[in-house]
Amino acid sequence: MSKVVVVGSYVVDLMSRTPHLPKPGETVLGGPFKMGPGGKGGNQATAAARCGSEVTFVTKLGEDVFGREALKHFRTENVNTEFIKVDPGQATGAALIAVDDKSENSIVVALGACGTITEAEVLEAEEKVKDADIVLLQLETSIEAVVTTVKLAWKHQVPVILNPAPYQEFPREILRGVDFITPNETEAFELSGVEVVDEGAALAAAKKIHEMGVGTVIITLGSKGAFLYTGGEKGELVPGFKVEAVDTTGAGDAFNGGFAHALSTGSSVKEAMTFSHAVAALSVTKIGTAPAMPYKHEVENFLAHLGTVK
């Protein structure tokens, strides 16, 4: 079985539907309210596990009801919780999510415990990183955890996927130890200074990011698909799948979790992108983040119906 290590965030999602996203100072009546497991790391770990990978998740929770529910969720999903720390001095992270009638969302994240993951806590999982097929990271945690994980994976020559979301500044030199980077348009702009408005701009942004040391740059473009660049003068738009979206929250996490799984099983980059597009497409047809992640048989059926696989 393919082995994926995810180091990153867990936050509980507190979500409500609303007719429109509130303006500053505005109170909007919404509903229904839903609570569930989330955070970019948690979502990506869930997605990879449901796709069929053996997943180890490194994060930190508070000693509270949200933390207890998190552990219950990951054990149900068959995610290895050995390196999920519980800190009685911290609250479990939380995300306040509003989703409007057009399925657009607005999110405020309070990282809580997962924003304090230390170098020592990451190093405890060294043997799992050493044995992994792929390591998956985001920026929704302490930068100390990100830097330590990249160095650890580099030490053991394990490929790294960095999803630089939500964007915050980090030591750019670690990009030399990153094999795949998956920014969206906003994050690509933050990294490159190039506003991604079309394929030409995506190529220019990808070139700049590639020059920082990343081997493969994948700029996700929502329903348009994702732009793939590995060097040279050209890149390629790998199209996504059109579905009727109910809730787009977590689509990027679905893509990254699916991508990590597919790469860990030996798929080519383009094959992995097509697979992860399907994971993302299926995820937006349901409400929620981690609970909306599709299972392997659902993804395979979706791709087979479209004639993508035999």
For the segment 57-84, the average pLDDT, to the nearest whole number, is: 97
The residue type at 310: K
pLDDT higher than 60, residue 155: yes
State the pLDDT confidence band at 310, using cuts at 50, 70 and 90. very low
243 in a known ligand binding site: no
**132/46 Cα distance (integer angstroms):** 17
**297/288 Cα distance (integer angstroms):** 20
**88/113 Cα distance (integer angstroms):** 9
pLDDT of residue 253: 97
Which helix (H) or strand (E) segment is 99 a member of?
strand 93-99
In angstroms, the Cα distances linking 71 to 12, 84, 155, 283 are 12, 8, 30, 22
* Cβ pair 174, 146 in contact under 8 A: yes
> Domain containing 179: what range?
3-21+31-305
18 in a known ligand binding site: no
pLDDT of residue 104: 83
Retrieve residue 228's tokens: 């793939």
Residues in the chain: 310
For the segment 52-65, the average pLDDT, to the nearest whole number, is: 97
With 0-12 / 13-18 / 19 or more C-beta atoms within 10 angstroms meaning exposed / middle / buried, residue 84 is buried
pLDDT higher than 80, residue 307: no
Residues 6+ apart with CB under 8 A from 93: 9, 10, 11, 12, 39, 109, 110, 111, 112, 113, 114, 115
pLDDT of residue 156: 98
pLDDT of residue 117: 97
130 in a known ligand binding site: no
Let me know if residue 211 belongs to a domain: yes
For the segment 62-79, the average pLDDT, to the nearest whole number, is: 97
296 in a known ligand binding site: no
108 alpha carbon, distance to own chain's centre: 17
Alpha helices, H only, 156-227: 185-192, 199-211
For the segment 55-72, the average pLDDT, to the nearest whole number, is: 97
Retrieve residue 75's tokens: 């054990």
State the pLDDT confidence band at 1, using cuts at 50, 70 and 90. confident
Let me know if residue 266 belongs to a domain: yes
Radius of gyration from C-alpha coordinates of the chain: 18
247 in a known ligand binding site: yes
* 120 vs 97, more confident: 120
pLDDT higher than 70, residue 308: no
Omega before 164 within 30 of 0, i.e. cis:
no
What is the per-residue pLDDT across 24-52, written as a single tens digit (0 to 9) for each?
999 999 888 989 999 999 999 999 999 99
State the pLDDT confidence band at 99, using cuts at 50, 70 and 90. confident
222 in a known ligand binding site: yes
Retrieve residue 291's tokens: 């609970």
For the segment 225-249, the average pLDDT, to the nearest whole number, is: 93
For the chain, the average pLDDT equals: 95
What is the per-residue pLDDT across 177-219, written as a single tens digit (0 to 9) for each?
999 999 999 999 999 999 999 999 999 999 999 999 999 999 9
**134/240 Cα distance (integer angstroms):** 23
Let me know if residue 26 belongs to a domain: no
Number of domains in the chain: 1
pLDDT-above-90 percentage for the chain: 87
Let me know if residue 310 belongs to a domain: no
CATH for 266: 3.40.1190.20
Catalytic residues: 253
State the pLDDT confidence band at 247, using cuts at 50, 70 and 90. confident
151 in a known ligand binding site: no
* Cβ pair 129, 156 in contact under 8 A: yes
pLDDT-above-70 percentage for the chain: 99
pLDDT of residue 129: 98
252 in a known ligand binding site: yes
* Cβ pair 219, 188 in contact under 8 A: yes
